[in-house]
Structure 1
């Protein structure tokens, strides 16, 4: 019963997060992310029992079939949704919480040849957008968003939105954060709590999939610089005009 219950939940997750899903048969036959998750569960079960070769063979078969590589040692919570999925890599010591959403090209990897825990821990209700790389042994907090193409190399607090290379926090709890100073100020004001934690696992419907309108700090910086340059040009023109007026007045005298 538990097996079929999990299968039903996996299918329900697809319908909840992918508007392209039309019917159950389509989801069962055509969603490679779902196939990758099911194959990983088998490989992970054998891996935990001390098997090595057969889980790796299952993992390689899953990669060949779906284009998604999940190491048998990775720990994956319920409600994972892999959209498209081609090029996704999940390392051996990676841990994913409940209701995580991964888009194509995501890497949850390490940064070297260190032993032990070397891959990230992803919290609950996290969205990692297309092409993002999360590299290293650190935690991405609950309800965080990782923007498309970002490279994240250090911990991400809960409810944070990270974009860029290297990844920078630009939103916390829905409040814009532009610099480290502003982040520190947000912590002092209580908008951001350094010890934020989610005590209860929230329902998968709480997953915020909107990741297409994330702030671009570099573009904002360029726009700010252009505004300052424009203001300086106007000021220079004003000063030049005053000088010309004074010179004209002096000549008339």
Structure 2
């Protein structure tokens, strides 16, 4: 347990340049507090002390603003940056070296039974406000852009953005570090709107030519 706690602290120093001292991290990082509380609650949950487990998780939620169901399975070196509003569902499975930011939801899509929350593989980064919903898998080394809503499977080594989330990069670059330029994300929706705007402008010009008495046979053949 002490080794796992030390790993939880070390990953903060690796991922957060604002971290300065061990005492500061231990006393002031709510994401770390939520992870430690989860590990205690999960131990009770595995032993079928469900009420105690849920009570611990709810007390942790009250103090940290982060809700992690004690039934979730979380791997090593899990980092929650800031963390306010983070929700991790009961059947969620999270691998090693995963980073998530504030406002992230790893939730379900309804009242279905069984596995109803996502599986997040190793080395995944999920940016601010993203929602990953349903029993889907986000593959290794993938990134989910800020504000995205992911409803379908994400292949390994991919970048997903948009609502609903779409894969915009896959195996395009070698993922060496879990970094993401949150301010310059590809926007497939905006790209499609620009194409539609261009087509509408072309149609307006063609219609104007027809109204001015020009031969419209060329347009009818399109």
Give the alignment of 1:234-245 within 5 angstroms: none
- Would you say the 8 A contact 1:99–1:207 is kept in 2? no
Superposition deviation, residue 239 in structure 1: 10
**How many angstroms apart in 2 are the aligned matches of 1:236 and 1:67?**
57
- Aligned counterpart, 1:5: 3
- Would you say the 8 A contact 1:96–1:121 is kept in 2? yes
**Of 227-236 and 106-115, the range deviating more from structure 2:** 227-236
Give the alignment of 1:63-78 within 5 angstroms: 63-78=61-76
The answer for unaligned runs of 5 or more in structure 1 is 176-201, 244-253
Aligned-residue RMSD, C-alpha: 2.3
Of residues 112, 115, 118 in structure 2, which corresponds to 1:117? 115
More helix by share: 1
Superposition deviation, residue 238 in structure 1: 9.6
Of residues 91, 97, 107 in structure 1, which corresponds to 2:89? 91
Superposition deviation, residue 4 in structure 1: 2.3
- Secondary structure of 2:38's counterpart equals helix
**How many angstroms apart in 2 are the aligned matches of 1:51 and 1:151?**
34
- Aligned counterpart, 1:192: none
- Would you say the 8 A contact 1:110–1:137 is kept in 2? yes
- Aligned counterpart, 1:160: 158
Q: TM-score, normalised by structure 2?
A: 0.86
- Aligned counterpart, 2:217: none
**How many angstroms apart in 2 are the aligned matches of 1:206 and 1:165?**
25
**How many angstroms apart in 2 are the aligned matches of 1:91 and 1:152?**
15
Q: Deviations over 1:115-143 (max 9, x none)?
A: 11111000111111111111111111011
- Aligned counterpart, 2:191: 220
Give the alignment of 1:21-32 within 5 angstroms: 21-32=19-30
- Aligned counterpart, 2:178: 207
- Secondary structure of 1:124's counterpart equals coil
- Aligned counterpart, 2:80: 82
Superposition deviation, residue 237 in structure 1: 9.0
The answer for unaligned runs of 5 or more in structure 2 is 215-222
- Would you say the 8 A contact 1:145–1:211 is kept in 2? no
* Larger-gyration structure (1/2): 1
Of residues 54, 57, 60 in structure 2, which corresponds to 1:59? 57
- Aligned counterpart, 1:189: none
- Secondary structure of 1:108's counterpart equals strand
**How many angstroms apart in 2 are the aligned matches of 1:206 and 1:167?**
22
- Secondary structure of 2:111's counterpart equals coil
- Aligned counterpart, 1:182: none
Q: Provide runs of 4+ in structure 1 moved above 2 Å.
A: 205-213, 221-241
